[in-house]
Structure 1
Amino acid sequence: MEVSEKLTWIELDKKHFFHPSSSIKDSYEKGPVVFMERGEGIYIYDADGKEYVDGLSSLWNVNVGHGRKELAESASEQMKKLAYTHSFSRFSHKPAVQLAEKIASLAPGDLSVVHFTSGGSESNDSAFKIARHYFKLKGQSQRFKIIARDRAYHGVSMGATSATGLSIFRELGGPLAAGFIHASAPYSYRCEECKPECKGDCAIESIYDLIEQEGAETIAAIIIEPVQGAGGVIIPPPDYIKAVRKICDKFGILMIADEVITGFGRTGKWFGIEHEGVVPDMITFAKGVTSGYIPLGGVVISERIYRELVEHSNQNFAHGFTYSGHPAACAVALKNIEIITNEKLVENAAGMGILLQQGLEKIKNELDIVGNVMSRGLLGHIEIVKDKTSKEAFSSSHKVASQITEQAFEYGLITRPIMYNNTDIIAICPPLIINEQQINQLLDILQESIKKIMGRI
């Protein structure tokens, strides 16, 4: 792109584009950080032709990589035939039915009925409404509260924000919706109660404490991410999620697994919850179902819950979205799942995930400011600390994780800093098509970036 053309686009951006999740002041005064032009495989290219490793799959979602023409073709073919029809009032079409059947075949246990949305926030809001509606139909309208967790991220619509346990999101649009309460996050490395080794017991106890405090008869659901994504890529201790399932069974509470990030191969299984040997009552999904090529999300409901809804319902389910089950979006999702299956990308995520974990451990062992690393499949984190022994963090004014990600960006790697409650974390989430050479490229850039910043602080 010519300099004059680029400057024109920057000015137009500053004047007209209200960027999501960005500094309003910086957007207005400075304009965009970068103009992206095209993508191919695990790489994305800016308007000047510079190549970047997309180490976050854009927003945790470009699972099959960039530039997949077959996904564009699937949308085009469907649009030529039937671009759009709604699915209200029992209207239907083949792509939605085919996709619902396919997702049901991939989901664990008896999760077999799909309600479609346009994205993750809508999916989680829908799950909350379904849970509350379910108990109303059973004559338990007092069951409306949702237990989420500290450091949770469930989206930015009002219900999803209320479930989110990150203050920056909660403070923006308050007051929040009623009935959302938060238990402790199961982050063993930062647990101050279970030294020397945390097994997640205190995080489970905090759920019991909330149930005792609020009354089990008022709790409709517990929502958990199998791996907490935007809260720091936190993998729970072994058996933690099994313990949550036992709590739900004991008190008659529904269990919702938020698989918006972890679904469709990201962790080395089709759904992240499968690592735990647990079947929730609902799974919410989005992102990886289309690899971000077109907006789509949904809720997968257990056959048991759906049967009870059918049995007790005598009225219209007054909930849904204009684009629920959008024909073109469903067609793209079907092709995306076909690519993941045919190219064995779930298996690749598992295999490359082992290499990623080994590489992260190597970085931890070699660099003094890397205190902790975690990963599952192609989803990982590095926590930066001032002192490894004490786990002392740098002061928030240093913004070390931000410095490292900015340096990595200069070197051609896109990652994401997560700074919350005095923790400096760098998130890693490359496309599922990544190979061994590219894993090494990502890790090399990351290590060099950390070394560079170590020399400055």
Structure 2
Amino acid sequence: MVIKNKVQELADLDKKHFLHPTSSIKQQQENGPAYIFTEGKGIYLYDINGNKVLDGMSSLWNVNIGHGRKEIVEAAADQMSKLAYSSCFNTFSNEPVIKLAEKISQITPGDLNTTFFTSGGSESNDTAIKLVRHYWILKGEKERKKIISRKKSYHGLAMGATNTTGLKPFRDFSNIFSPDFCHVDDQSIDALVDLIEKEGPETIAAFITEPVQGAGGVHIPSIEYIKECRKICDKYGILFIADEVITGFGRTGKYFGMEHFDVNPDIMSFAKGITSGYSQLGGVVISKRIHEELINLSVDTFLHGYTYSGHPTACAVALRNIQVIEEENLIENARLMGEEMLKGFKWLQHTQDIVGEVRGLGLLGAVELVKDRKSNQRFEKPLAPLVVNEAAKRGLIVRSVTFEGQDTLVFSPPLIIKKEEIQEMVEIISDSISTVKQNNYKKELI
């Protein structure tokens, strides 16, 4: 236990010097940090006050193999003792990045074959945007600049990634409305065709989609929808980008989310689960066909890169992380525990009258809260943030999504989770919902 004065000192320094990502600045100043974490073990995190919390979000959808894995630490230390970092510009290379690129070509679907490495998901999607536009320039079709993405999508918060993100508040935040980015109804094939025809197929570079919309509320499209999107892209000569930043590396019960739909993208972006958060790494993998065209058409330097593209330590961590995922059959565990999690959500639906639609694919799930199930009427004030707060008091971290009229709890626990831990998570949510009903909405619900 850390003495109280030390905790307060750290909290005061946090408020003064640390601007938190995706957080309430006012709340930070009023209340200080919600947690100051000091240790992670398995599916649990421990804070400076000695509190133990179940990490129902894998921190940020990414700690797939769980916290505190010594083998990952050893892999990083071993690589750092030999070559912590070297540049990959000007065709310089290193052994871990070469081996990781080969491994990615083996595990990704279709003919995805060649990888450009980044430091995370936003950089990956920015890279995908720049790459497809560069591709069309080389092909002599410079007018193909537009990127189509789906409403409720989330593709990151770098400049290009923010423009593709279909959640409008993220674009409103800094008045980012660049030309040549279009957002289409997230479930309608007709709307996609209409938009392509309206904008002109000859002006569209790519269509980007998450296999499952994560931060937008864990929305799972139908198999037919994704298949039709692929067919439409083929019909109009549009490149198909799969954003697997959240869904990759076992999260959905398959190696990559697109495998559920039997659809092979032209380009795939990834991050998060490739290192389980133990190091910063992302990337974009392109098909063999596109790579060959780039080779044949390129005459000048490929003028895109990041300082840490191909970072040897991060790549060594990724290789060991993937080895753990495969050796411990965590993809299959994600499938099986995902079924248990969905059973738990359906139990909530049966026992809690304000639980509406529940959904899940592997260890990626959502529970909607509604005032009336039949009409899908929502509460005037969303309940999900209140349930999240109550769950935190009981030792569980989950997230709420309230964009675009949603009132949803979302879940993404580590792939190592066990059945009894799923039950613990569901029971905490049930208790939290009951408390919110009793304390905050009793009159309205009666």
TM-score, normalised via structure 1 length: 0.95
Letter in 1 for 2:426: L
Letter in 2 for 1:415: V
1:32 alignment counterpart: 33
Farther off after superposition, 173-182 or 97-106? 173-182
1 CA distance for matches of 2:42 and 2:10?
26
2 CA distance for matches of 1:454 and 1:421?
23
**Aligned-residue offset at 1:50:** 1.1
Q: Which runs of 5+ in 1 are unaligned?
A: 187-202
**Aligned-residue offset at 1:399:** 2.7
SS for the counterpart of 1:141 is coil
2 CA distance for matches of 1:78 and 1:214?
49
Contact 1:352 1:378 in 2 (8 A): yes
**Aligned-residue offset at 1:70:** 1.0
Farther off after superposition, 316-325 or 42-51? 42-51
2:420 alignment counterpart: 437
Q: After superposition, give the CA deviation of every residue in 1:302-346 in whole Å (9 maximum; x if it has no partner).
A: 001111111111111100100001000000000000000000000
* Aligned-pair Cα RMSD in Å: 0.8
Contact 2:163 2:176 in 1 (8 A): no
Contact 1:144 1:179 in 2 (8 A): yes
Residues 1:404 and 2:387 aligned together: yes
Residues 1:393 and 2:378 aligned together: yes
1:268 alignment counterpart: 253
SS for the counterpart of 1:58 is helix
1:221-232 equivalences under 5 Å are: 221-232=206-217
Farther off after superposition, 6-15 or 176-185? 176-185
1:40-439 equivalences under 5 Å are: 40-186=41-187, 203-395=188-380, 398-439=381-422
1 CA distance for matches of 2:6 and 2:82?
38
Letter in 1 for 2:412: C
Q: After superposition, give the CA deviation of every residue in 1:136-185 in whole Å (9 maximum; x if it has no partner).
A: 10100000000001111000000000000112211112233221100112
1 CA distance for matches of 2:140 and 2:385?
50
SS for the counterpart of 1:239 is helix
**Aligned-residue offset at 1:410:** 0.4
Letter in 1 for 2:398: T
2 CA distance for matches of 1:412 and 1:30?
19
Contact 1:183 1:207 in 2 (8 A): yes
1 CA distance for matches of 2:438 and 2:282?
44
**Aligned-residue offset at 1:269:** 0.5
SS for the counterpart of 1:22 is coil
Contact 2:162 2:176 in 1 (8 A): no
Aligned-residue sequence identity (percent) comes to 52
TM-score, normalised via structure 2 length: 0.97
1 CA distance for matches of 2:196 and 2:324?
43
Contact 1:158 1:176 in 2 (8 A): no
Q: Count how many residue pairs are aligned between Structure 1 and Structure 2.
A: 439
Q: After superposition, give the CA deviation of every residue in 1:375-427 in whole Å (9 maximum; x if it has no partner).
A: 000000001011001000111xx230000010000011100000011110100
2 CA distance for matches of 1:173 and 1:76?
40
Letter in 2 for 1:151: K
**Aligned-residue offset at 1:82:** 0.5
SS for the counterpart of 1:323 is coil
**Aligned-residue offset at 1:33:** 1.2
Contact 2:155 2:162 in 1 (8 A): yes
